[in-house]
Chains A and B, each alone.
Chain A
């Protein structure tokens, strides 16, 4: 599964650089926002 995902990413990066660049920004931003929410929720649970 990892290999097919990696192959898909490599192909996208080579065939459509703009799509890849937009995807990099969007994915990093979404993961960062999600992490922030999870960490804030954890802090509340731990009462820190």
Chain B
């Protein structure tokens, strides 16, 4: 099928499949999934600017579906999400200015790539280390691992005004929320990504937000950031709306399934899969950097294949695990599905 805006010929089934994969991972982890979809579209022949723009448009649509489903499941803290956005926006702006400065001194590519590797690697390893440390913790279907010591310290900050967050069962200083929002926005703006893979761990480990609420609340932010990104790329005529719509057909279904899977899979396992996805993404950036350093173009293509294949495998693992839990729950004649809460 020919897509005249991007000027490429792609099998629409491949777009549906990549959309479905991104939908499952996005709604399950609370991320936009640009780091998976953009390389995939680029592999299909989309020029990079069209790959980013088209991805942003589909991310916005997919995140709406995922956010609505998480809202029905009671996983969204609207107050926290709104306040985080207030901190995120100036953070993104400062990050963008830093990038423009690096561009002027012609150091942007290499610095961004190293920061990306460092950040993704540290986040992935930190989560794995935390999970190993708490491996003795008896995990029920929906019990939350203990709140991290950093989060406990942040929760002790009592600089007014204090904000009560009933959905997250927290009382936090507004400045702590804005500070975390700013820091994650800065990282996202600097790396040129939506920042879900930074914000979800930050909400969990720095603010002490329960895993499922962190996922749902981050998706709310992605609707806003994805929408803004899609709008600006559309203005520059870099969004292929036909391709984005076809991707959304798969992504919408995937997002619905991904959100439902969070009900059946315990928080520890969600964190484990999240860490694996982040580490695989870091590995793909390492391969990209090696391709630049060694001048081997094949490594760059391998990096894109690695991230697409990883996303596919992780989606299958998520769905299979959820189905096994569902089956186990039915065999025990005990419902492991919590009753959906009334949305805010």
Q: B337's closest neighbor in chain A, by CB?
A: A48
B-to-A contact residues, CB < 8 Å: 2-5, 57-58, 60-62, 64-65, 68-69, 72, 227, 230-232, 234-237, 239, 241-242, 244-245, 248-249, 252-253, 256, 260
Q: Which 6 A-B pairs have the closest CB atoms?
A: A21-B234, A35-B252, A32-B64, A28-B61, A32-B61, A6-B4
Q: Judge whether B253 and A13 touch: CB under 8 Å.
A: no
A15-32 residues at the B interface, CB under 8 angstroms? 17-18, 20-25, 27-29, 31-32
C-alpha gap A35/B69 in the complex (Å): 11
Are A6 and B239 touching (Cβ within 8 A)?
no
CA–CA, A10 and B6, complex, Å: 10
Count the A residues whose beta carbon is within 8 Å of the partner chain — how many?
A: 25
Contact B65–A32 (Cβ < 8 Å): yes
Q: Which of B64, B236, B244, B256 contacts A17 (CB 8 A)?
A: B236
Closest to A13 in B: B237
Residues on the B chain within 8 Å of A39, using CB: 65, 252-253, 256
Binding site secondary structure of chain B: helix
Interface residues of A (CB under 8 A from B): 6-7, 9-10, 13-14, 17-18, 20-25, 27-29, 31-33, 35-36, 39-40, 48
Chain B residues whose C-beta falls within 8 Å of the C-beta of A22 in the assembled complex: 231
Q: A20 and B242 in contact (CB under 8 A), knowing A31-B61, A39-B252?
A: no
- Inter-chain CA distance A10–B50, complex, in Å, is 14
Contact at A25–B231, with CB atoms within 8 Å? yes
- B4 contacts A7, C-beta separation under 8 Å: yes
Main SS at interface, chain A:
helix
Asked if B239 and A24 sit within 8 Å, CB to CB, the answer is yes
| Bound-state Cα–Cα, A21 to B62, Å | 18
Kindly list 15 other residue pairs between chains A and B, CB separation below 8 angstroms, not including A13-B234, A24-B244, A28-B241: A7-B4, A9-B4, A17-B235, A21-B234, A23-B241, A29-B64, A31-B248, A35-B248, A35-B252, A35-B256, A36-B64, A36-B68, A36-B69, A36-B256, A39-B253
- Please give, as numbers and ranges, the residues of chain A lying within 8 Å of B232 by CB-CB distance: 21
Can you give 12 contacting A-B residue pairs, CB < 8 Å?
Answer: A6-B2, A13-B234, A13-B237, A20-B235, A24-B231, A28-B57, A29-B227, A32-B64, A32-B65, A36-B64, A36-B68, A36-B256
CA A48 – CA B335 in complex, angstroms? Answer: 12
Given contacts A6-B4, A10-B5, A36-B69, contact A29 B237 (CB under 8 A): no
